Chains A and B, each alone.
Chain A
Amino acid sequence: MSTQSPSAAAPGAAAAATSHKGGFGESIAHRQMNAQEHAGTDWANPLRDAQDRRLPRIAGPCGLVIFGVTGDLSRKKLMPAIYDLANRGLLPPGFALVGFARRDWENQDFAQVVYDAVKEHARTPFRDEVWKQLAEGFRFVPGEFGDQAAFEKLKETIEELDRLRGTNGNHAFYLSVPPKFFPGVVRQLKESGLADGGENTWRRVIIEKPFGHDLASAKELNKVVNDVFPPKSVFRIDHYLGKETVQNILALRFANEMFEPIWNRNYVDHVQITMAEDIGIGGRAGYYDGIGAARDVIQNHLLQLMALTAMEEPTSFDADAIFAEKVKVLSAVQLPEDLSLHTVRGQYSRGWQGGEKVIGFLDEDGIAKDSITDTYAAIKLEIDTRRWAGVPFYLRTGKRLGRRVTEIAVVFQRAPHLPFTATMTEELGQNALVIRVQPDEGVTVRFGSKVPGTSMEVRDVSMDFQYGEAFTESSPEAYERLILDVLLGDPPLFPRLEEVELGWEILDPIEEFWAKNGKPAQYEAGTWGPAEADEMLARDGRSWRRP
C-alpha cells in the first residue's frame, strides 16, 4: 500500500485515467501525511515527482537490532526477510543488522548464521553483490538481557555503525524474546541511553505477540514499554496483517462495487472465521500450557480478521482512519449471554493426522496430565451495529485439525423465494464468499447452478479466484512488508494498544468462564474439532464449513 500511497495520485488528466486511486485530488488527511514527510523544511526533493510511480520508497539510513537472534523466528523469518528486502533494493545503503544473544560469537560467526538462514529460507535468489552490501553491516553483541555491560557494548556498537556505516542514529530494536524478558530489555535500553538517539534520529521498538495473557497483564506490558518508548515508536507485529491476502480484504471490499451492497445483515446470514493448524504444540509446551488456542490466536489474529471483515469503510487508507474503524467494530462486539452454549474449547487426543500417528495433547512432553489448556477454541460473537445486528460471527481455531488453512467465509442467506420445486433445489446450499488467507490465497464464490440435463436441478458450484495462482512465488512475505514499514515508520499494518486491550476485553470473560467451568472436550487429532463445536452451531441451525 505504501508504494501506491495516495500522494502518488496525479492531479488533472492523469488522475482521470487512474480514478481508482481517487480522482478528487487529496483529502485533508492525505495532505497531512505528505506534510509530515517533510516536516519543518520547505525543501522538496527535485528528483521526486508525484507522477513517477516507478520509484519505490526506500527506508532512510538505519539499522536493526534483534534481541534473541538465535531463535527460530529470527532465523526462519527475520533474516531471510531482511535479505529479500535488500535484494529488492528497498533497504538503505549502509543498513546494519546487529544480533544480541547469549552466545559466545564473533561477528563472523553471526554472519555465518545469517548466511545459512538466508540460503535456506530466503524467497529471492541468492546474489553475491546483495550479500556483500548487507554483510559489511553485521555485528554481534554477546550478553544476557540483564547485563549492563553488554548493553554498553551494544551502545558502542551502534555508535560505531553510525560512524562507519552511516546509520545516522536511526535504530529499531526487535524483541524476538519471550515476553517475560520484555521489561528487562526495555529497561536496559533506557538505562543505557539506547532508547533515545537525540535530535533528528529515531528509535523504534518492535514486539511480537503475545501482548500479555489478559487485560491486566497487557496493560502492565504496555506500561513498561510506553515508559521508555512513545506510542508511535512501538510497533506490534501481527504477521497476519502483513499478508497480501489480508490487505486484499480491504481491496476486495472497498475497491469494488459488487460486494459492499450485500455486505450487511440484509444479505449475510453469518460469518465463519477459521484458522486451523495441522501441527501439534511441538516443542512449545512451556509457552503454550496455560495460554491455549484462544489467547494465542483468537485474541489477535482472528479478531483482527473479523475487524477487517466487519468494519465500515475508512475515509482514507492511512493508519489513523483504518484504526478508527477497527476500534469501532471491536468496541461493538457482544458476547453471548450463555457462554456454555456458545463457546467451545477442546484438546486433541491421539489419532491419525494425515496418515501419521500422533499423540494427544495431554501426552505431549511438558504438559500436565490434568492440563485444561485449550488447543481448540470456537466462540460466537455478535457486533452491535446497524450493519451487523443479529449476524453471528463464529471464530474457531485449533491445532491438529484436518489441514492447515485460514479463511473467512461470509455465508449469505437463502434466496427469499425460489421459483423451483423443493426437489429441484434439494442440493442447493447457501451462497458463500470465502476469502482464503493461507495457504493457496484466493477468493471462492459458491452459488447455485443448473445441473446439465433435461430436468431442472440446481446444485452448488464454486467459482475460484486464485490470488496465489502465480503470485505466491513473487509476492513478498508478511515479515518483509512489516519490517520495511517499521523502518519507514509507516504504521497502518500494526495493531495499536487499544486494539490489543479491546481484544482482551472480549476474550477475558470467556477465559474466566472456562477456567471455572468444566474441562476441554476431547477431539481426535486430524478431525475438525470436538462434536461439541458442531452442536454449538447446530443450536443456531447452522453448520461449520469444511474448509
Chain B
Amino acid sequence: MIIDLTDTSASKIGATLVQARRRAGSPTTGAVLTLIISTEERHHYDAMKAASAASREHPARIIVAVARPEVARTRLDAEVRVGDDTGPGEVIVLRLYGELSAHADAVVMPLLLPDVPVVTWWPDEGPDVPKNDPLGRFAQRRITDAAEYHKPMAKLRARAAGYAPGDTDLAWTRITPWRSMLAAALDQFPRKITGAAVSGEEGNPSARVLAVWLRQRLGVPVSRTADEGPGITGVELMTPDGPIALTRPDGELATLSVPGQPDRPVALKRRETAELIAEELRRLDPDDVYAKLLQDIDVPFTEPLKVAGPTVEKAAKEAARLGEPKPVQVDAVEESS
C-alpha cells in the first residue's frame, strides 16, 4: 500500500503510518531499527530497494530523506509504503523542498521508532564528517560510501580526520569476503609473511583500504598495482615457501593458490548493495578495527604504485597529494602474468 501525502507534516505522517498498519491488521511493529537514508532524487529508488532487501534480515522502519533545495517554495511531501513487496518493514519517503531541505532532522526526529537503534546511510557523496550532519547526529551507526565520490581518497582522508565511533564505510564493507578468505588461507597455511601485494581497479578505494589493512596487520611492505578491475583483482601474501595468491580477474570466481597445494576455485562475487547494508546492520556497535584502519589510511606507501593503463598521470597527482613515490607505468601484459 502506498499513500501519498502532499504538503504535510511529521505528525500527519506518523498518524498515517499507524492508520495504515491498523488497516493491514497488524497494529504493532516488529522493527528492530530505524534506517535513515539521506540521498538525492536520482539515487533514492535504488537505495530504497537495497534497504528494503536488507530489511528482510533486519526489519526496519526506513526513512528516505530526499532534499530538493532547488525548489523555492518550502514544502514537505511524503510517500508512505506499508506491507507492499518492497519488504517487510515500512518505508517513508520524504521530499523536503526549499528551506526545509536543510532541516531534515526536524522532520525525521518524530518519526524515529522508540528505543531501537538509528542508522543513517548516505548512498551518494555524503558528508565529510558524518557525525556533524543533521541526519547523522542521532544515529548510532553512520554508513558512507567513499566509492561514490569522484575522489574517494579525499573523502576517506576527511572522514578519518572527522571520525566518530559508529562511522563505517562501504569501501571497507566490500572487502570482508577478501579478508575472511585470506585469513582462512593463512589459518590453513601458517607461515611468516614477508610481503604482500594488492592489485585492483585504478582509483578503487577498497583496494587501498585492503592494502592499508594488510600493511597494518602484517607489518610488511605492501606493493600495489592499478589495473582495469573490476574492483580488486588479486592479493598475494609472500611466504618463505612461495606466495599465497587469491586472484579474481572477472569479479566473480576467484582462485586460491597455496604453495604445494592444488589451486582451488572460490566464489568471490562482488556483492550487491543490499548485502553490504545487511552486513553493516548485523552489528551496531562501533567498529574498532575500521577506526584503527582509518588512522593509517593516508600514511604513504613506500613502494610506488604500478599502473597498467593510460591513467598514470591521474595516479601521479594522487600520489603527490599523499606524499607517495611517483607511480611507475607497467605493461598490462606483464602485470597479469
Selected from A47, A166, A469, the residue in CB contact (under 8 A) with B218 is A47
In the complex with contacts A47-B182, A93-B181, A133-B265 CB distance below 8 A: yes
What string of 1s and 0s marks CB contacts (under 8 Å) between A394-426 and chain B?
000000000000000000000000000000000
Check B89 for interface membership: any CB of A closer than 8 A.
Answer: yes
Chain B residue contacts of A133, Cβ below 8 A: 253, 265-267
Task: With both chains docked as a complex, state the minimum distance between the C-beta of B57 and any C-beta of chain A, in angstroms.
Answer: 4
Contact check, B262 vs A87: say whether CB atoms are below 8 A apart.
Answer: no
CA A87 to CA B268, docked complex, whole Å: 9
B262 near A129: Cβ-Cβ < 8 Å = no
Is B267 a contact of A48 with CB atoms below 8 Å? no
A49 to B218 alpha-carbon distance, docked (Å): 12
**Contacts known (A18-B285, A58-B180, A129-B252); A471 close to B186, Cβ less than 8 A:** no
Inter-chain CA distance A87–B176, complex, in Å, is 15
Report the separation of the CA atoms of residues A127 and B264 in the bound assembly, to the nearest whole angstrom.
18
Please give the number of chain A residues whose Cβ is less than 8 angstroms from any Cβ of chain B in the complex: 48
Tell me if B30 and A132 are in contact (CB < 8 A).
Answer: no
Query: How far is it, in angstroms, between the C-alpha of A130 and the C-alpha of B269 when the chains are bound?
Result: 9
Beta-carbon contacts under 8 Å, B23-54 to A: 28, 30
Residue A106 at the B interface, CB < 8 A? no
Q: Tell me the number of A-to-B contacts counted with CB atoms below 8 Å.
A: 124
**In the bound complex, how far is the Cα of B274 from the Cα of A474, in angstroms?**
12
In angstroms, Cα B282 to Cα A54, docked, is: 9
- CB-contacts of A25-66 with B (<8 A): 41, 43, 45-49, 51-56, 58, 60-61
A469 touches B30 (CB 8 A): yes
* Total interface residues in chain B, CB < 8 Å: 48
Q: Indicate if the CB atoms of B283 and A130 lie closer than 8 Å.
A: no
Closest residue of chain A to B256 (Cβ to Cβ) is A93
Is B337 part of the contact surface with A, judged by Cβ < 8 Å?
no
Contact of A129 with B288 in the complex, beta carbons under 8 Å: no
Cβ-defined contact, B190 with A127, below 8 A: no
Does A89 make an interface contact (CB < 8 A)? Answer: yes
Contact B262 A166 (CB under 8 A): yes
Query: B186–A47 contact, CB under 8 A?
Result: yes
Whether the pair B217, A132 counts as a contact (CB closer than 8 A) is no
**Could you say which residues of chain B place their CB within 8 Å of the CB of A168?**
188
> Could you list some 17 contacts between A and B, CB below 8 A?
A17-B285, A45-B183, A45-B186, A47-B179, A53-B283, A54-B179, A55-B183, A56-B180, A94-B256, A94-B265, A133-B266, A133-B267, A164-B262, A166-B261, A465-B30, A469-B88, A471-B59
Chain A residues with a Cβ under 8 A of chain B: 10, 14, 17-18, 41, 43, 45-49, 51-56, 58, 60-61, 86-87, 89, 92-94, 127-130, 132-133, 136, 163-166, 168, 463-466, 469-471, 473-475
Apart from A54-B283, A92-B264, A132-B253: 16 A-B pairs, beta carbons within 8 A: A14-B285, A41-B190, A43-B190, A47-B179, A49-B217, A52-B289, A54-B176, A54-B289, A89-B267, A92-B188, A93-B265, A129-B269, A130-B269, A136-B265, A165-B264, A470-B56
